[in-house]
Amino acid sequence: MEKEIAGKKINVNEEGYLLDFNQWDESIGEAIAKENNVEMTPRHWEVVKFLQGEHKNNVPLSIRKIGKSNVIDIKEFYALFPQGPLKISTKIAGIPKPASCL
């Protein structure tokens, strides 16, 4: 479905995750963050860029892996993106919601 984010028409799924990363830019990320009550700081952007890089390299994302990444520990990850950091940060980053393994 189409949703207007930061004044642009963006394709998202029913949970609000971007379907096409090419439509992403920082203003989109900023707007999604605001919707989720996250105020973006340089540190937030650092983490978001890291997640985008991992996704580009087809690395499956999990809280455990991010905690061991040397980029950020789990405690800080939660502090930056409270209540489900992986879900919220990937939405801001414009990448798919990580498939929670069965």
The residues binding another protein (CB under 8 A) are 62-65, 68, 74-75, 77-78, 82-84, 87, 99-102
Residue among 57 and 83 whose Cβ is closer to another protein:
83
> Catalytic site residue 46?
no
Residue among 6 and 76 whose Cβ is closer to another protein:
76
CB of 60 to another protein, least distance (A): 8
CB of 41 to another protein, least distance (A): 18
* Cβ-Cβ contacts under 8 Å for 30 (sequence gap 6 or more): 6, 40
- Residues annotated as catalytic (active site), given as ranges: 101
